[in-house]
Structure 1
Amino acid sequence: MLVLIPLILIFSLSSGVLILRNINTQINTLVTQVRAYSKLTAKPIGDTYSLYYESGYLKFAELTNQILALNPDIKKVQIISVTGEILFDSDQLINTQKPKTIAKEQDSQVVEKVKSNLRSESPSNGSNARPEQIIEPYFEDFGAHPFSVRYFVSYSSISENVFGTVTATMLLSLVFFVASIVLIISTVNKRILSPIEEVTRGAGKIRSGDLSYKIDVNTKDEVADLAAAVNQMAATLRKNIEDLKALDKLKDEFVFIASHNLRTPLTIIKGYTEKLLNEADLSVGAKKEIENMSQATGDLETITESLINLVALEKGKEPVLLSEVEITDLLRRTAEQFGEAASEKKISFIFEFPNQPLPKMRLDAGRISQAFANLIDNAIKFNKEGGKVIIKVEKNPKDVTVSIQDTGIGIRKEEQSKIFEKFHRATDTLRYDYEGVGLGLYLTRLIIQSHLGKIWIKSNLGEGTIFFVQLPFREV
């Protein structure tokens, strides 16, 4: 207990010194900041006064308030002419109308400082002084000095922070005091602390993902029991992750096999419906029902193919079949596939291609066409009646950027980061009863990434969406 008395005295003394130094540091920092603020803002305040005070007082008041808000330690600003007139006082900003009267500065020393064209402080200009007023001369662009800006400095924030400073310093001293005691005790209890540190270190490694790490503690006490529990937890997590991976693999295999097995019956159903539609003696009602059946079969076939492509692209089961492709021709041909759908909504295509022919690119034509088809389909599907789809190509030194823009409903900002996720459909679009299961853009992203490209989006709600695709040139 007697050992603690000198420690308490030392920390009490150090706390007092720290408090005084902290307060002095705050004051010096405040003085430095207001000096820098006055130097940096005199010109903007003067320019704002010259431009807007007479012709647009509300604009002047708005800009001046913004400047004053940058430093709360400046309690007031005045603009004083070289003849001693107070042209502006920030206390007047509470009024929405420009003041009709101009006051006269009564302090002759202030007027003399304004006339001197020099910067000055009151009570003094010493580096260690605590100025209450700062006068900064304002010079027009051609050198004239019509007035100076006078800043009134407030030190009230220091007083307001004294309690916080004292509290923080005392707490800090208390922390050091406790740390000293802990340090003394730790030398005695090293046998207990070391195993705890080992458990903490092991838990950190396991938390960061190293589930193979094993905590080695052999103290045969509660700490050893804790280490064993953490090791068991890591082993359980490792097994659960392996089980989830196996389950994910089974899911992919099931989707792939089920989709493949659906192809044949769907092809047969589609063939029979097409044959039935060619029968001449069908009634109007029967023909309509068969057309609906054919449409539903086509939709199911599209979903089946999407699922097959999804598994193949995710697992890399199908290689990228590169060939030389003229990107602008591919875009035109892909857009032509949607001519009928665009005509139904009176949507027009606009192509903005470079005047000079682009060099051929090494692409998987089928996959890339599928990706662009998904984007064009969305541009039509989510467009407005009589809208536009703008397809633009830009050649860069190392790549080509394709943008597909619509004038449709747009996508909420919070949805844009999720738009390329699997099975995701933007919240707003659900209201429009659009078809699809949320795989199109996810597949598009996988296709673009398989070509070492990038895809991103820019959209404003109610104005439309632009999808950007960047594909690198590859050597032939």
Structure 2
Amino acid sequence: MKLLPQTLFKSIRVRFGVIIAILLLLVFALSSGVLIIRTINSQNKTLITQARAFSELSSQPIGDTYSLYYGSGYLKFTELIGKILALNPDIIKVQIISANGEILFDSTQVSADKPPEIKNETDKAVIEKVKLNEESEIPARTEGSKPTQIIQPYFEDFGAHPFSIRYFISYDSVTQNMAAIITTSALLSAGFLIGAIILIFIVVGRTIINPMETVIKGARLIQGGDFSHNIEVKNKDEIGDLAAAVNQMAQTLKRNIESLRELDKLKDEFVFLASHNLRTPITVIKGYIGLLQRDKSLGAKAKNRLEKMQASTKELQLLAESLLNLASLEYKDKELLISDVDLVELVEEITEEFGKEVGEKRISYILEFPSTPPSKIAADKERIKQALGNLIDNAIKFNRDGGKVIIKLEEKDKDLILSIEDTGVGISKEESEHIFQKFHRATSVLNYNYEGIGVGLYITRLIIEAHQGKVWFESKLGEGTTFFVKLPVKAEHSVG
């Protein structure tokens, strides 16, 4: 489950969508916040304006009603006061306070049958404002202030100021409206946000993401070798330029690869013809060298030169045979001659043939074969002998003097696995990738000054793969190399 978010965020579509969603969310949050604040401020101003207007208009009627009915018609007074206060629900309480600070009336303490007891106001600031002959507010009116109380003076007809009327303002309606506004804004913002994200996803998907995916898909097909694939996008922007560049690159690669294949074909044909045509003159040269060596009249110096000529001719013949083998395997012009092959006997035969080389370098063989004779393989004996001979030859060539060549054979399931280990120079990591390539000569070959054209391991790989087998190696530089060959006990075979 922890890997799921990482996998999702690898998609540019998801990452782009998340970024857009966050940006839109911030925009909607800021705009909604500004809208809510402005709406609340507007409602507060409206409420205050209405409360001030109400207090100015109602103070005289309330004062007159108090003077007429409070003492003689209390019930009538409370009824009229209730009707007046009902005109503005934001005024939650009204008090009538005398200039001496006596609370003559409190709308929250209305009794059904008689007026409440008179109490004294203890807040000196309120008493001071009651004595004033003008409207006042608590807190005092300032820029942007929210008054909670308004005090309006009451004047009788002849100008006397017996008391003032104190209005208590409630902002509960604004608070309730604020909750409704926030809920509405959240719902509208969520709706707009979802709609905007969907719209952006559709537009961006069609104009950017989908064309990019088309380019990626086409690039992968080209990577897989389909150079004839043409990426088609309708964009006239950078994505269209990218698609055109990839198409052009594919066509260039196609032309270059076709040219390389043609050159490779010509090279292979030349190698085949050259090596094939070399066989006849080499045979003639060998024959004449043999005739000359039988001439007893030749001196020691001439015989020594003939021996060098014979050795060089042999190397030239081996080179020609290697090139012919390579061409034969690559062109698949010769079927494998399948027979039952005993790998134990074949390995012993090969090791005996390298007796001279082993003796010169004082190398010892260690052969580890199963106690029970392993199964035979169905293979072309000469081809397999050539492949294994190349591996054993390398194990001897690139071994140290007095080293070991350890050859093991084991049977696993329906495969025989042969390993050939040496105690030589090893193979570097840089060389490892090229070991089985055609015409590759490792650095160690140059250091040991061995002749060769770098096709031995390449031919080995072709032969083993022709038998549905596998060849690989493990190596540590300076410690040695182990080559492994896996061959099926029973399989169908064809060259290549």
- TM-score under structure 2 length normalisation: 0.54
Q: Distance in 2 between matches of 1:461 and 1:221?
A: 52
Q: Distance in 1 between matches of 2:475 and 2:210?
A: 55
SS of residue in 1 equivalent to 2:366? strand
CA positional deviation for 1:8 = 4.7
Q: Distance in 1 between matches of 2:329 and 2:200?
A: 62
Mapping for residues 397-476 of structure 1, pairs under 5 Å: 397-474=413-490
Mapping for residues 39-54 of structure 1, pairs under 5 Å: none
CA positional deviation for 1:403 = 1.6
Matched, 1:280 2:280: no
Q: Distance in 1 between matches of 2:355 and 2:205?
A: 81
Matched residue, 1:339: 355
Of residues 260, 263, 281, the one that matches 1:244 is 260
Of residues 4, 28, 48, the one that matches 1:10 is 28
Mapping for residues 124-273 of structure 1, pairs under 5 Å: 187=203, 200=215, 204=219, 207-208=222-223, 209-216=225-232, 231=247, 234-273=250-289
What are the superposed Cα offsets for residues 184-203 of structure 1, whole Å, 9 maximum, x if unpaired?
5985997x769966974685
One-letter amino acid of the counterpart of residue 320, structure 1: L
One-letter amino acid of the counterpart of residue 333, structure 2: K
CA positional deviation for 1:217 = 6.3
Contact 2:362 2:402 in 1 (8 A): yes
Q: Distance in 1 between matches of 2:247 and 2:237?
A: 16
Of residues 366, 379, 391, the one that matches 2:382 is 366
Relative to structure 1, the CA distance from residue 195 to residue 384 in structure 2 (aligned partners, 3 Å threshold; closer, same or farther) is closer
Relative to structure 1, the CA distance from residue 469 to residue 183 in structure 2 (aligned partners, 3 Å threshold; closer, same or farther) is same
Q: Distance in 2 between matches of 1:418 and 1:248?
A: 18
Relative to structure 1, the CA distance from residue 269 to residue 218 in structure 2 (aligned partners, 3 Å threshold; closer, same or farther) is same
Of residues 334, 350, 353, the one that matches 2:366 is 350
Relative to structure 1, the CA distance from residue 394 to residue 274 in structure 2 (aligned partners, 3 Å threshold; closer, same or farther) is same
Larger radius of gyration: 2
Q: Distance in 2 between matches of 1:189 and 1:365?
A: 62
Q: Which runs of 5+ in 2 are unaligned?
A: 1-22, 33-192
One-letter amino acid of the counterpart of residue 423, structure 2: T
What are the superposed Cα offsets for residues 345-372 of structure 1, whole Å, 9 maximum, x if unpaired?
2222232222222333211100011111
Q: Percent identity?
A: 51
- Count of aligned pairs between the two proteins: 308
Relative to structure 1, the CA distance from residue 436 to residue 240 in structure 2 (aligned partners, 3 Å threshold; closer, same or farther) is closer
Contact 1:205 1:213 in 2 (8 A): no
Question: Over aligned residues, Cα RMSD in angstroms?
Answer: 3.7
Matched residue, 1:376: 392
SS of residue in 2 equivalent to 1:401? strand
Contact 1:384 1:408 in 2 (8 A): yes
Q: Distance in 2 between matches of 1:382 and 1:253?
A: 32
CA positional deviation for 1:472 = 0.8
Relative to structure 1, the CA distance from residue 259 to residue 281 in structure 2 (aligned partners, 3 Å threshold; closer, same or farther) is same
Contact 2:399 2:424 in 1 (8 A): yes
- TM-score under structure 1 length normalisation: 0.56
Matched residue, 1:38: none
Q: Distance in 1 between matches of 2:216 and 2:329?
A: 40
Contact 1:212 1:234 in 2 (8 A): yes
Greater mean deviation of Cα atoms: 241-250 or 286-295:
241-250
SS of residue in 2 equivalent to 1:334? helix
One-letter amino acid of the counterpart of residue 305, structure 1: E
Contact 1:198 1:215 in 2 (8 A): no
SS of residue in 2 equivalent to 1:423? coil
Relative to structure 1, the CA distance from residue 368 to residue 333 in structure 2 (aligned partners, 3 Å threshold; closer, same or farther) is same
Contact 1:407 1:464 in 2 (8 A): yes
Contact 2:370 2:410 in 1 (8 A): yes
Contact 2:222 2:229 in 1 (8 A): no
SS of residue in 1 equivalent to 2:406? strand
Relative to structure 1, the CA distance from residue 323 to residue 282 in structure 2 (aligned partners, 3 Å threshold; closer, same or farther) is same
Relative to structure 1, the CA distance from residue 13 to residue 350 in structure 2 (aligned partners, 3 Å threshold; closer, same or farther) is farther
What are the superposed Cα offsets for residues 238-268 of structure 1, whole Å, 9 maximum, x if unpaired?
3333333222222221211111111111111
Q: Distance in 1 between matches of 2:412 and 2:305?
A: 51
Greater mean deviation of Cα atoms: 445-454 or 274-283:
274-283
What are the superposed Cα offsets for residues 285-317 of structure 1, whole Å, 9 maximum, x if unpaired?
212211111111111111111111112212322
Q: Which runs of 5+ in 1 are unaligned?
A: 15-176
Q: Distance in 2 between matches of 1:412 and 1:10?
A: 62
Matched residue, 1:310: 326
Q: Distance in 2 between matches of 1:424 and 1:319?
A: 27
One-letter amino acid of the counterpart of residue 28, structure 2: I
Q: Distance in 1 between matches of 2:411 and 2:202?
A: 67
One-letter amino acid of the counterpart of residue 343, structure 1: G
One-letter amino acid of the counterpart of residue 474, structure 1: K
SS of residue in 2 equivalent to 1:333? helix
